[in-house]
A and B are shown apart, each in its own frame.
Chain A
Amino acid sequence: MDKVLSARFGKIKPDSIEEYIQAGGYEGLKKTMSMEHLDAIEEIKKANLFGRGGAAYPTGIKWEQAYAIQRGPKYMVCNADEGEPGTFKDKHILSEDPFELIEGMTIGAYIMGAKEGYIYIRGEYAAIQKIVKSAIENAKKAGYLGKNILGREGFDFELKVVSGAGAYVCGENTALVESIEGKTGRPRQKPPYIKNCGLYQMPTILNNVETYSCIPWIIKDGGEKFSSMGTEFSGGTKLMCLSGNVNNRGVYEIPFGTTLRELIFNLGGGMKDGRKLKFVHLGGSSGSCFPESMIDTKICYYDLKKAGFSLGSGAVLVVDDTHCAVDYLKTVMEFFEEESCGKCTPCREGNHRLVEILDKMTEGTATMADFNKMKSLAQTMKTTSFCGLGQSAPMPLITLVKYFEEEFLEHINGKCRAGVCSMSGKAGK
């Protein structure tokens, strides 16, 4: 299979522009510079590329809309916050082939006429930030960034790395933009959308690392070729992050259409210690949890949506039967309790109260009233939260309750089948 994103991983010195060019780099940018802007965007539309950050918005459409906006200056921004637990794909692009991202953003800058761009990299990737900064410097020295790029008069593009400071919510696009502006990372009311009114209230093209990194290949080899690698509904390949109770954890580039079972049992080498697969947590902490009976679903935006799930960032966390669904959920919800920015009521207070009820469950002191409140609260959070964080935080709860309801009921009756929960409050009940 052709690799779009990981072809150069481990084969070149990541910040060496010479090695990147030798390995076919910057062909996409050069080709773009010989094309009409709208033709380049058309190529991306043909590619059937969907945003890889989690929201899966069609990139070609996004760029077409941003291109049509007359106001300026326009900014290129890359979301490299990669805060979703179980997600570590952007890390590989940034540390093993940062030029494919830089080239992707430069192509965007050429099309949009943007003069400035920002790569917002999570603070925990401090070492990787250095690699990216070095790559930017080298691109600048070689004339691929800065003034009059590749000798083209007026094609100027400056790229800067901005470090996140540890807040998960800054992976939400509007909070990310606030953070770049130096403000506290909290989401903005939408509309206006980022493309109209983003960084410094200016039109902003904001994509995930993986999305930008697909662009050079798409321009170079054509949108149709890219699209044909995937399914009818999802073009290209996807970096999947496999973790949990499997033998071979890691990042795998797969064509869309591969099933989860193939990923887990073929590429991933199956379950560790021969345990039974209990459920898969797909798309990161804010994704859905579902049992083994559903893992023959194809990795494809359409098929997953039909099954009621979202691919999210591409995280696949495999959980075996030594784990308790309730205890697992509690750990996940503690993450959201910690990471809620606090702006809106349902997310700020809701995650906190879900943890409170789950605490009672694991201690064996929860009642049916608690269980019902938990379910009702989760729905309210999903439908009323301000941003994607609060809206999706209850997803693991909603899906675990859907597929493992009897385990929750057992906890109310003081039993944990996996023997994980302490049930320490049971005696006093």
Chain B
Amino acid sequence: MDMINLKIDGFDVSVPKNTTILEAAKQLNIDIPTLCFMKGVNEPGSCRVCVVEVAGWRGLHPACVTKVSEGIVVKTATSTVREARKNILELIMANHNRECLSCPRNLKCELQTLCNDNGIDAIPYEGKVDKGCLDTSGPIVRDPNKCVLCGRCVSVCSKIQDVSAIDFAFRGAHMTVTTAYEEGLANQECINCGQCIKICPVGALQERDDTEKVWKALENPELHVVVQTAPAVRVALGEEFGFAPGTNVEGEMVTALRRLGFNKVFDTNFSADLTIIEEGNELIDRIKNGGKLPLITSCSPGWIKYCEHNYHDFIENLSSCKSPQQMFGAIAKSYYPIKTDVDPKSVFVVSVMPCTAKKYEADREEMNVDGLKDIDAVITTRELAKMIRQAGIKFAELENSKQDSILGTYSGAGTIFGNTGGVMEAALRTVADKLTGKSLDCIEYTAVRGLDGIKEATVNIADMEIKVAVANGTGNASKLLDKIRAGEANYHFIEVMGCEGGCINGGGQPIIKDKSTTDAVKTARIKGLYDIDVSCEKRKSHENPEIQKLYSEYLGEAGGHKAHKLLHTHYTAR
């Protein structure tokens, strides 16, 4: 490999050709500050915070996008560089809505850290350019007056998610990030995935805060408030309380939820198992009876909205199954009240989700049964952490406890729903048993695991070759569907998750302050869920005793009349 030798701050370093100054400096443990830069996603070189001096070169140069060349002498913190950096940060801060104390991103804000580290003690400018109103039209709330125009959200929305709901508009000091015709995000093709929130260095993007709705319900004696937590929440919530990413804090979480005052603490893993029974049945039915194939999963509401906007010709391929969140709500307001003698109208269902699109899904008008909304409030992992802190609960010190029956028991299959490839694997475990009529021992489908964009496998079950694919994020889903459209690929079954990595990397998960660790955090959370799977007594959805009971006592057949009414839905071309 061609190596380039250079000197940074007096130290020699040798790096491969095409390395940036920023990366070369990292090898010497020199951390050049950056703001707009997000490797592989957003590399516009536009904020200019990372400028450095190169001997003999005119002006200063952005370390993030400047490639090394042989023999250059770089200085990263001379008085000229420090003055420039300070001036630039002052300029950014001058038009930033500096409500740090009341900002949800306080202490996790990259701009705050940069300003602290670079000696910004006063802002020498007075006026502010008003960049428009707070957008509260949907689950994603945008504050253009906190936006620092780094463009990371624009890049993640267009390049990673293939959505392009936002872009830069106007010029000079009036430049903003906004939507087409400056309408609210809710009126756009935004899929509410919340990846923009996660990548925002400041608090310009956040989820709609629904915690007050939950507090009010908890305080209302007329209501019977039950809560479900999605699989991915338990391996990330701990990060908000000092646990390492991927640590399973399910036990502490259940205790905390009880302390918050929920009448029953249940689990979305349970309804994930339920989804597998219905979706597995749907797949077998479509394969055997010549139904529309490939069948495509419908658990991810971001993906569903993406499909409804962009792939009308695939709407019939979507599984008619509601997502686990919605299935849970439907059961919690039908079967559960019957079994426990609670008035269904008094049941208030709260979801804790790693996902911002779940807020949108819960509000879809078709998501109700006989006039009762499946889900009454959705909060993200971050919002739950906030409630736990507000209640003064010392999370890390809590004893462990178990979910309540009869909607709280789960299998390993329901747990791995939170990982990319997890729904596919869970479905295959059940479908294989159903088709062979046996209880198979080989249950780990590793080909569909991991962070690759598109994963494909052919599974041989009962002399049938079932071709499957997993699309990791909507951007990859788009590539996969284009291939199918072009006749270049064909499958029986496709899993799509709206966010890369799956729900573990959903828009509602804890903010990763050091974005360079994002992949490591994703991997740790994924491992966390697989570890739970391995530790489960039952690892197949159809072996979940509470699910078996639900069918025998109430639903009857999978895909039957009652199941259809409660657990299935339809989609709209948008």
Binding site for B on A (CB under 8 A): 167, 169, 184, 186, 189, 337-346, 348-353, 356, 369-370, 373, 376-377, 379-380, 382-386, 391
Contacts of B170 in A (CB 8 A): 342
Contacts of B174 in A (CB 8 A): 342
Q: Which chain A residue shows the least CB distance to B176?
A: A342
Contacts of A341 in B (CB 8 A): 171-172, 175
CA gap between A342 and B51 in the complex, in Å: 18
List 16 A–B pairs whose Cβ atoms lie within 8 Å, in order of A's numbering.
Answer: A338-B172, A340-B171, A344-B45, A345-B48, A348-B173, A349-B91, A350-B87, A352-B173, A353-B91, A356-B125, A376-B83, A379-B84, A384-B84, A384-B88, A386-B46, A391-B59
Name which of A349, A351, A370, A376 has the most chain B CB atoms within 10 A of its CB. A349
Instruction: Map CB proximity to A onto B36-57 as digits: 1 under 8 Å, 0 otherwise.
Output: 0000000011111101000000
Q: Which of B87, B127, B173 contacts A377 (CB 8 A)?
A: B87
Query: How big is chain B's contact interface, by range?
Result: 20 to 34
Using A337-B172, A342-B168 as known contacts, say yes or no to A384 and B91 having CB atoms under 8 A apart: no
In the complex, are the beta carbons of A344 and B92 less than 8 A apart? no
CA gap between A338 and B175 in the complex, in Å: 11
A interface SS class: helix
CA gap between A341 and B151 in the complex, in Å: 14
CA gap between A261 and B262 in the complex, in Å: 86
- What's the least CB distance linking A8 to chain B, in Å? 38
Instruction: Map CB proximity to A onto B148-176 as digits: 1 under 8 Å, 0 otherwise.
Output: 01000000000000000000101111110
CA gap between A340 and B60 in the complex, in Å: 19
- What's the least CB distance linking A364 to chain B, in Å? 16
CA gap between A352 and B92 in the complex, in Å: 12
In the complex, are the beta carbons of A380 and B171 less than 8 A apart? no
- What's the least CB distance linking B248 to chain A, in Å? 42
Instruction: Map CB proximity to A onto B513-544 as digits: 1 under 8 Å, 0 otherwise.
Output: 00000000000000000000000000000000
Contacts of A370 in B (CB 8 A): 124
CA gap between A350 and B90 in the complex, in Å: 10
In the complex, are the beta carbons of A349 and B95 less than 8 A apart? yes
In the complex, are the beta carbons of A356 and B127 less than 8 A apart? yes
- What's the least CB distance linking B202 to chain A, in Å? 14
Contacts of B558 in A (CB 8 A): none
Q: Which of B60, B83, B125, B149 contacts A348 (CB 8 A)?
A: B149
CA gap between A243 and B376 in the complex, in Å: 70
B299: Cβ under 8 A from any A Cβ? no
Q: Which chain B residue shows the least CB distance to A341?
A: B171
In the complex, are the beta carbons of A342 and B48 less than 8 A apart? no
- What's the least CB distance linking A39 to chain B, in Å? 33
Using A337-B173, A342-B168, A384-B60 as known contacts, say yes or no to A189 and B47 having CB atoms under 8 A apart: no
In the complex, are the beta carbons of A345 and B47 less than 8 A apart? yes
Instruction: Map CB proximity to A onto B326-343 as digits: 1 under 8 Å, 0 otherwise.
Output: 000000000000000000
B80: Cβ under 8 A from any A Cβ? yes
Contacts of A353 in B (CB 8 A): 91, 94, 125
In the complex, are the beta carbons of B124 and A373 less than 8 A apart? yes
B126: Cβ under 8 A from any A Cβ? yes
Binding site for A on B (CB under 8 A): 44-49, 51, 59-60, 65, 80, 83-84, 87-88, 91-92, 94-95, 124-127, 129, 149, 168, 170-175
In the complex, are the beta carbons of B60 and A383 less than 8 A apart? yes
In the complex, are the beta carbons of B65 and A376 less than 8 A apart? no
In the complex, are the beta carbons of B173 and A385 less than 8 A apart? no
Q: Which chain A residue shows the least CB distance to B174?
A: A342
Q: Which chain A residue shows the least CB distance to B169?
A: A184
Contacts of A189 in B (CB 8 A): 44-45, 65
In the complex, are the beta carbons of B46 and A343 less than 8 A apart? yes
Contacts of A169 in B (CB 8 A): 171
Q: Which chain B residue shows the least CB distance to A187?
A: B46
- What's the least CB distance linking B150 to chain A, in Å? 9
- What's the least CB distance linking B12 to chain A, in Å? 25
Using A184-B168, A349-B173 as known contacts, say yes or no to A386 and B125 having CB atoms under 8 A apart: no
- What's the least CB distance linking A113 to chain B, in Å? 30
- What's the least CB distance linking B119 to chain A, in Å? 14
Contacts of A186 in B (CB 8 A): 168
In the complex, are the beta carbons of B46 and A344 less than 8 A apart? yes
In the complex, are the beta carbons of A352 and B59 less than 8 A apart? no
In the complex, are the beta carbons of A342 and B173 less than 8 A apart? yes
Using A342-B168, A349-B95, A356-B127 as known contacts, say yes or no to A380 and B87 having CB atoms under 8 A apart: yes
Using A345-B46, A346-B48 as known contacts, say yes or no to A383 and B173 having CB atoms under 8 A apart: no
CA gap between A70 and B48 in the complex, in Å: 34
Contacts of A384 in B (CB 8 A): 48, 51, 59-60, 84, 88
Q: Kindly list the 10 A-B residue pairs having the minimum CB-CB distance in the complex, ordered from nearest.
A: A342-B175, A349-B91, A352-B173, A340-B172, A380-B87, A383-B59, A380-B84, A342-B171, A383-B60, A384-B48
Other 9 A-B pairs with CB < 8 A, given A350-B87, A353-B91: A189-B45, A340-B171, A342-B172, A348-B172, A353-B94, A356-B125, A370-B124, A380-B87, A384-B51
- What's the least CB distance linking B125 to chain A, in Å? 5
In the complex, are the beta carbons of B92 and A386 less than 8 A apart? no
CA gap between A385 and B171 in the complex, in Å: 15
Using A348-B172, A352-B172 as known contacts, say yes or no to A342 and B149 having CB atoms under 8 A apart: yes
Contacts of B127 in A (CB 8 A): 356
- What's the least CB distance linking B55 to chain A, in Å? 14
Contacts of B65 in A (CB 8 A): 189
Q: Which chain B residue shows the least CB distance to A385?
A: B48
CA gap between A135 and B83 in the complex, in Å: 53
CA gap between A379 and B174 in the complex, in Å: 23
Contacts of B175 in A (CB 8 A): 341-343, 348
Contacts of B91 in A (CB 8 A): 345-346, 349-350, 353, 377
Name which of A186, A348, A382, A385 has the most chain B CB atoms within 10 A of its CB. A348
Q: Which chain B residue shows the least CB distance to A357?
A: B125
Contacts of A386 in B (CB 8 A): 45-46, 48
In the complex, are the beta carbons of A352 and B124 less than 8 A apart? no
In the complex, are the beta carbons of A382 and B59 less than 8 A apart? yes
- What's the least CB distance linking B257 to chain A, in Å? 44
Q: Which chain B residue shows the least CB distance to A377?
A: B87
CA gap between A377 and B84 in the complex, in Å: 8
CA gap between A383 and B126 in the complex, in Å: 24
Q: Which chain A residue shows the least CB distance to B151?
A: A343
Using A340-B173, A353-B125 as known contacts, say yes or no to A376 and B87 having CB atoms under 8 A apart: yes
Q: Which of B83, B92, B171 contacts A167 (CB 8 A)?
A: B171
